[in-house]
């Protein structure tokens, strides 16, 4: 397991990007639960963020690809709208404890 960040560094309904050993990842927190994905749209293989640490749509309820507007569910990374509908983001196994978020890479 590799340390990602302190739990307090990932706000509720927030997102944050990371570069861990050359792997571009991002984390999102929703309803107290953290989700971590590879920062790569299944449509074109590009990074998803609009600006650094900005991976969510304006309502903070879906992950949105800045390039083509594809929308993904936070809970499982499934694309529900856009050019890659039916495909999914690559989830990174993670756990959270008193120290923070840990990923299995």
Backbone torsion region of residue 80, taken as left when φ is above 0, otherwise alpha when ψ lies between -120 and 50, otherwise beta: alpha
Asked whether the predicted pLDDT for residue 16 surpasses 80, the reply is yes
**In this predicted model, what pLDDT tens digit does every residue of 96-105 receive, in sequence order?**
999 999 999 7
Using CB atoms within 10 Å of the CB of residue 3, give its burial: 0 to 12 exposed, 13 to 18 middle, 19+ buried. Answer: exposed
**In this predicted model, what pLDDT tens digit does every residue of 44-98 receive, in sequence order?**
899 999 899 999 999 999 999 999 899 999 999 999 999 999 999 999 999 999 9
- What pLDDT is recorded for position 50? 85
d(CA 47, CA 2): 22
What are the chain's domains?
1-101 (2.102.10.10)
Structure-model confidence comparison of residues 27 and 43, the more confident one? 27
């Amino acid at each position: 397991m590799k340390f990602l960040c302190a739990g307090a560094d990932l706000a509720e309904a927030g997102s944050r990007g990371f570069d861990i050993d050359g792997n571009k990842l991002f984390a999102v927190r929703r309803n107290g639960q953290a989700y971590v994905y590879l920062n790569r749209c299944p449509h074109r293989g590009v990074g998803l963020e609009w600006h650094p640490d900005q991976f969510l749509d304006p309502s903070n309820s879906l992950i949105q690809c800045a390039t083509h507007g594809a929308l993904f569910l936070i809970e499982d990374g499934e694309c529900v709208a856009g050019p890659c509908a039916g495909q999914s983001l690559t989830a990174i196994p993670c756990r959270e404890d008193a120290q923070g978020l840990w990923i299995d890479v």
